[in-house]
Amino acid sequence: MRSKIMKLAGVVAVSATLALGASACGGKSDSGGGGGDTVTIGFMGDLTGENSGIVIPPKQAAQLAIDEYNATNPKVKITLKTYDSQGKGEQAVPLAKQAITKDKIAGLIGPAFSGESAQVDPVLEEGKVPSISASATNAALATHGWKYWHRLIANDNVQGAGIGGFIATQLKAKKVFIIHDSSEYGKPFAETVKSTVEKAGAKTSEDAIDVQASDYSSTVNKVKAFAPDAIFFGGYYAQGGKLIKQLREGGVKARFLSGDGSLDKGLAAGAGGTTADGSIIGCPCLIDPNGTAGPASKKFATDYKAKFGADTAIYSAEGYDAATAFIAAVKAGNTTAEKINTYLSTIDIPGVSKQIKFSPAGEPTATDVYVYQVKGDQLPLLGNSKNATVK
């Protein structure tokens, strides 16, 4: 028996060695030997880790944008080089240094998450390489005065204001009950929504839930006593689903709203059946596989589907726009990181998800928040929170 196992081990060892040898020869990007006729743009994020599901769509979308541009046979071509950080800062930092010093990237799309961004962005700042993140939403990132940092996704504060505005103006809610999960994400987010609806003249009351608990009956009773027109929940879908279920069982009929932490099919699953139907989830991201948002979005959705055989997903439109921003910079004749960064400070072109334009701090000037309505286990787009109408 033993010798068989040993043979098998030998086979595995040999194949691993072969794979190593093969990989050592592959994976090199061409360094554009023809005198600056290619520019390398990096993409950094969790491509193989546990959260890769929300990083692969923007990566594919960026690839799509760059392939489309290269297909027009431009004077300066762009190569997209991916850096798999697995969402971990300790892997992302050396990768970023390699990208700057060896690969000489002229710009970076990413890092995808806020945690790794906090470690990588100072390196990019010293290396003078512009970055555009499609998915890091932590509000504190914009407060460091980084000159080379940008993002194309509105931060958590903007999202709170957008959803608050939607509750006040579109839903015309006069009484709003605010619930949050006491987390670093949910609490400030819920506070922003609360102050926004209060400014619009609505009465509010609030309560916090414990993430570990499974029985929210005290919260349900408070909601019943307050009799609101709308309920807003700042937190993640795991608790959001249970909350909807218990509210409905308690006889509360008011409309349920939440933010991007609940933008997942798990919300409807947690509530069970069609209980969550009609709930509205806001997100500063545009997910529009059917192209209802406009012709540009429709074209992007069909192109994406044709190339990757899958619908556009979370952050894919933002990834496409980040690549578009770099492409526009290269089209305008900027091929060095420094020049591209200068160009990004004045860029003002229409993108798929929003107008591509940055504030001096690197935040997107567009504050669009999109709303999605739960329907069965789907989350179809309703439209922009400023003008979406609720059926």
Partner 1 sequence: MNDSSGGNPLNRVRDAYSSASDSVRDRWSDAPGWARWLVYLILIVVALVLPADGIGSFMSPYTDWPTLLFFPIGGYILLAIGLNVVVGQAGLLDLGYVAFFAIGGYTMAVFGVKFGWSFWEILFVGVILSALSGIILGAPTLRLRGDYLAIVTLGFGEIVRITANNTDYIGGPNGMGGIPHPPTLTEWTIPDNGFFDALGFGGVQPFKYGALDGKPYYYLMLVLIVVGIIFVKRLENSRVGRAWASIREDEDAAELMGVPTFKFKLAAFAIGAAIGGATGVMYGSQAVSIIPTNFPFILSATILAAVVLGGSGNLPGVILGAFLVAWIPERIRGLQEYRILVFGGVLVLLMVFRPEGLLPSRRRKAELAEGTGGMGTMGAEVAAPTTVVAGEVSE
Q: Which residues bind partner 1 (CB under 8 A)?
A: 1-4, 6, 9-10, 12-13, 16, 19-20, 22-24, 26-28, 47-48, 84, 88-91, 93-98, 100-102, 114-115, 118-119, 122-123, 125-127, 138, 140, 144, 183-185
> How is residue 364 written in tokens?
């997107």
Nearest distance from residue 260's CB to partner 1, in Å?
A: 16
The smaller minimum CB distance to partner 1, of residues 182 and 221, is found at: 182
Smallest separation (angstroms) from partner 1 to the CB of 275: 30
Min separation Cβ 363 and partner 1, Å: 17
CB of 134 to partner 1, least distance (A): 20
C-beta of 203: minimal distance to partner 1 in Å?
29
Q: For the CB of residue 267, give the shortest distance to partner 1 in the complex, in Å.
A: 21
145 vs 333, which CB is nearer to partner 1? 145
Is 340 exposed, middle or buried, given 0-12, 13-18 or 19+ CB atoms closer than 10 A? buried
Phi, psi dihedral angles at 188 (to 5 degrees): -60, -35
Residue 132 · residue 112 · CB < 8 Å: no
Closest to partner 1 by CB, 183 or 302: 183
- Min dist CB 89 to partner 1, Å, is 6
As a whole number of angstroms, the distance between CA 173 and CA 168 comes to 6
Q: Which is nearer to partner 1, 114 or 353 (CB)?
A: 114
User: Which residue's CB is nearer to partner 1, number 33 or number 50?
Assistant: 50
Min CB(88)–partner 1 separation in Å: 8
Residue 46 CB, nearest approach to partner 1 (Å) = 12
- Report the relative pairing of strands 349-350 and 230-234 from DSSP bridges: unpaired
Closest to partner 1 by CB, 211 vs 349, is 211
Residue with Cβ nearer partner 1 (13 or 349): 13
Residue 150: CB minimum distance to partner 1, A? 18
Instruction: Please report how close the Cβ of residue 1 comes to partner 1 at its closest, in angstroms.
Output: 5
CB-nearer residue toward partner 1: 16 or 310: 16
Residue placing its CB nearer to partner 1 in the complex, 24 or 71: 24
Cα(160)–Cα(70) distance, integer angstroms: 39
Over the chain, what HEC string results?
A: CHHHHHHHHHHHHHHHHHHHHHHHHCCCCCCCCCCCCEEEEEEEECCCCCCHHHCHHHHHHHHHHHHHHHHCCCCCEEEEEEEECCCCHHHHHHHHHHHHHCCCCCEEECCCCHHHHHHHHHHHHHHCCCEEECCCCCHHHHHHCCCCEEECCCCHHHHHHHHHHHHHHHCCCCEEEEEECCCCCHHHHHHHHHHHHHHCCCEEEEEECCCCCCCCHHHHHHHHHHCCCEEEEECCHHHHHHHHHHHHHCCCCCEEEECHHHCCHHHHHHHCCCCCCCCEEEECCCCCCCCCCCHHHHHHHHHHHHHHCCCCCCCHHHHHHHHHHHHHHHHCCCCCHHHHHHHHHHCCEECCCCEECECCCCCECCCCCEEEECECCECCEEEECCCCCCC
Q: Greatest CA span in the chain, whole angstroms?
A: 79
Nearer to partner 1, 4 or 391 (CB): 4
If the CB atoms of residues 6 and 390 are measured against partner 1, the closer one turns out to be 6
Extract the tokens encoding 227: 């009799």
